[in-house]
A and B are shown apart, each in its own frame.
Chain A
C-alpha cells in the first residue's frame, strides 16, 4: 500500500484510509435528510448553549444536564440506526452490553476512586495546604468566555495527556486497550482500561472559580461535540465545524489500523488544537483497531496494561548483558 503524503508523514501505508474532505462520502437521500444531517450538529450545539444561557436558575442544574445527556444519547443511538456511517460498525447486543459495562464503571468505580485521588481531590488538598483560594478573577468574565475557557483548558490538558499516551510507553499501556475497539458507536468513548479512564479525566479546572452556569455551557461542548468522536452516523458537517471541532472522521482516522494515522487528531473537542501543533489530519477510516483488528475481551482489557508491562519488563531485564567477571 502506498499511502498518502500528509506534510512529512505517509498516512495509510499499513491499512486503507481516506485523506482529504473532498474524498469523504456525503449523506445520500432526499433534501430533508441531507439538510438534517448537515445542520443537526450546529443546531444542537447552539440550541443547548442558548438553553443553558437563558434557563432560569431553578432549571440550570446538573440534574437537568444529566437528563438531557441521557436523552441525547438515546437520540444518537436512533440516528446510528437510521443513518449509519458504515454497516460494518452496526451496534450489536454484545457491543452495546460491553460498552454499557464501561459506561457503568465510569459512573461508579472510577468516580469513586476519583473522589479520593482525582484531580479535584488533589487540587483541593493543594489549595488547603497552601491556603490558596480559587482563582476568582475568572468568575467576573462573560459567561460564554468562562464556558469556552473551561472547555478549552480541559481539552488542552487532554490533548497533551492523550499525545503523551501515544508517545510514552507506560502511559501507552493504559491507553492501548481503547485502541483495540474495532468500530465506533456512541458509548465507545467509555471503553478502556479504568486506569486510563481515570487519567484522561484529570484536569486543572478545580483551580478556578466559575459560575455553575458556565460549567453547564462548557459541558455542552463535551456533549454536543466530543460525543461525535465515537459515533456511527454519517454527517455532512459544515466546513467551519470540521475546521474548529473534532469529528467522527478525525477520530476514526485516529483509531485506524494504520499506525501513522493513529498518531494524529489527539484533541477531544477542539481539533484546532491539533492544527496548532501540526498533528491534525483531515480524513476518515473504516478499518479500526490494533493487531489486525482483533477484538479484545473485557477480561483482557482489564489486565492487558499490567500483563504487557510485566512481559516487556522481563524481556528488557533478560536482554541486559550478564556481568563480565574481571580477569
Chain B
C-alpha cells in the first residue's frame, strides 16, 4: 500500500540550507551530540546519517522520533540538509481519539445493557425504597455547622439515584478525551516539526 499520501501524519520531513563551505562531515559533526543520548544508535556514511531510538530519555530533545534519516545533498545554491523523521508517538496520538470514541461506544452499550436490569430490580422494591426515602428525608445538621452558617443540607432526592445510574455509564469523559487527543495531535505535529527544525538550525549555526 502506498502510504505516501497519509504518512505526513507521523513522518516529519524538512530541509535546511547549509553554508556553502560546510561539508557533509562538518554538518554531521555538529549534529553528532544529538545522537549520543540514551537509547540512540546511529550509522554515518559520507553524506547520510541514519538513527534509531529505543525508550529515549524524557528530556531527549528528539525523543518523539523513533528513527530517521538525515542526508546532505548538493543543490544549485549550496549543500542542503534533508531530514526524514518518523514518530510513532505522533501516530499513536493521532489514533488515540479512536480508542476513546471506542470507550464512549462501550459506555453507551453498557448503559443500554444496564437499563432493563435496573428497571427490573427497581420495580419490586419500589415501595420499600420510597419508605426508606421518607424515613431519611430529614438530613441532620450538626449545631456547630448551623452556628458557623453553613447552608442546610438538601433532603435526599429519590431521582438522584436514577441520575447516578445514568452517570455510571456516561460516554462524556471519553468524548472529552477524544477531543483532547485530537487537539494534542495538532499541537504536537506543528510543534515538534518546528522544534526539530530549530534544533538542527541552532546546532548547524553554532560556531
Determine which of A54, A115, A294 lies in contact with B55 in the assembled complex, contact meaning CB atoms within 8 Å: A294
Q: Is the CB of B151 within 8 A of A56?
A: yes
Q: Output the least CB separation between B116 and chain A (Å).
A: 17
Determine which of A96, A104, A213 lies in contact with B153 in the assembled complex, contact meaning CB atoms within 8 Å: A213
Asked, given contacts A53-B150, A107-B173, A142-B142, whether A93 binds B188 with beta carbons under 8 Å apart, the answer is: yes
Q: Is B93 among interface residues, defined by CB-CB distance under 8 A?
A: yes
Instruction: Note all chain B residues with C-beta closer than 8 A to A141.
Output: 142
Q: Is the CB of A104 within 8 A of B180?
A: yes
Q: Is the CB of B110 within 8 A of A112?
A: yes
Q: Is the CB of A57 within 8 A of B151?
A: yes
The answer for the CA separation of A212 and B140 in the assembled complex, in Å, is 13
Q: Is the CB of B145 within 8 A of A142?
A: yes
Closest to A212 in B: B153
Q: Is B191 among interface residues, defined by CB-CB distance under 8 A?
A: yes
The answer for the CA separation of A108 and B179 in the assembled complex, in Å, is 14
Closest to B54 in A: A297
Closest to A185 in B: B58
Q: Is the CB of B139 within 8 A of A142?
A: no
Q: Is B174 among interface residues, defined by CB-CB distance under 8 A?
A: yes
Q: Output the least CB separation between B84 and chain A (Å).
A: 19
Asked, given contacts A94-B64, A104-B181, whether A115 binds B153 with beta carbons under 8 Å apart, the answer is: no
Asked, given contacts A94-B63, A295-B58, whether A107 binds B177 with beta carbons under 8 Å apart, the answer is: yes
Instruction: Note all chain A residues with C-beta closer than 8 A to B100.
Output: 104, 108
Closest to A59 in B: B151
Q: Is the CB of A295 within 8 A of B55?
A: yes
Asked, given contacts A111-B173, A112-B106, whether A297 binds B55 with beta carbons under 8 Å apart, the answer is: yes
Asked, given contacts A107-B173, A112-B106, A293-B57, whether A143 binds B145 with beta carbons under 8 Å apart, the answer is: yes
Q: Is A65 among interface residues, defined by CB-CB distance under 8 A?
A: no
User: Considering residues A96, A100, A103, which has the most beta carbons from chain B within 10 angstroms of its beta carbon?
Assistant: A100
Instruction: Note all chain A residues with C-beta closer than 8 A to B187.
Output: 93
The 0/1 profile, CB within 8 Å of A marked 1, for residues 78-112 of chain B is: 00000000000100110010001001101100100
The answer for the CA separation of A295 and B92 in the assembled complex, in Å, is 18
The answer for the CA separation of A261 and B81 in the assembled complex, in Å, is 47
Q: Is the CB of A295 within 8 A of B56?
A: yes
The answer for the CA separation of A269 and B94 in the assembled complex, in Å, is 36
Q: Is A71 among interface residues, defined by CB-CB distance under 8 A?
A: no
The answer for the CA separation of A117 and B104 in the assembled complex, in Å, is 19
Q: Is the CB of A93 within 8 A of B177?
A: no
30 contacts between A and B (CB under 8 A): A53-B148, A54-B149, A54-B151, A90-B59, A92-B63, A93-B188, A94-B58, A94-B63, A94-B188, A97-B89, A100-B177, A104-B174, A108-B100, A108-B107, A108-B173, A108-B174, A108-B177, A112-B107, A112-B110, A115-B168, A115-B169, A141-B142, A142-B144, A143-B142, A143-B150, A182-B57, A294-B55, A295-B58, A298-B92, A300-B55
Known: A100-B177, A298-B92. 20 other contacts (CB 8 A): A54-B150, A56-B151, A92-B58, A93-B187, A95-B58, A96-B184, A97-B188, A101-B96, A104-B173, A104-B177, A111-B173, A112-B103, A140-B140, A143-B142, A182-B57, A183-B59, A212-B153, A213-B153, A293-B57, A294-B38
9 closest A-B pairs by CB: A104-B177, A107-B173, A108-B103, A142-B144, A142-B142, A140-B140, A108-B174, A93-B188, A94-B64
